[in-house]
């Protein structure tokens, strides 16, 4: 899926988060926090002018 998005000139997030059900809650939280930060940084950088 990431390759398709990239081929269409889309921006796949640099980090893909896979959630392992045996992982600790803090590991999942850290991964999702990092992904959220990347998405917010992208949205802030590419927002439409007001």
Specify if 15 maps to a domain. yes
The region that residue 16 occupies, defined by phi over 0 for left and psi between -120 and 50 for alpha, beta otherwise, is: beta
Domain count across the chain? 1
Q: Is residue 23 part of a domain?
A: yes
Q: Is residue 50 part of a domain?
A: no
Which domain range does residue 39 map to? 2-45
On whether residue 38 sits in a domain, the answer given is: yes
Digits of tens for pLDDT over the chain (50 positions)? 778 887 888 877 667 777 777 767 777 888 889 889 988 888 888 777 76
Helix residue spans in 1-50 (DSSP H): 2-7, 25-45
pLDDT of 4 = 84
């Amino acid at each position: 899926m990431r390759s398709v998005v990239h081929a269409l000139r889309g921006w796949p997030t640099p980090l893909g988060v896979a959630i392992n059900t045996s992982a600790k809650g803090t590991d999942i939280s850290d991964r999702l926090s990092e992904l959220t930060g990347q998405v917010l940084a992208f949205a802030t950088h590419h927002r439409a002018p007001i």
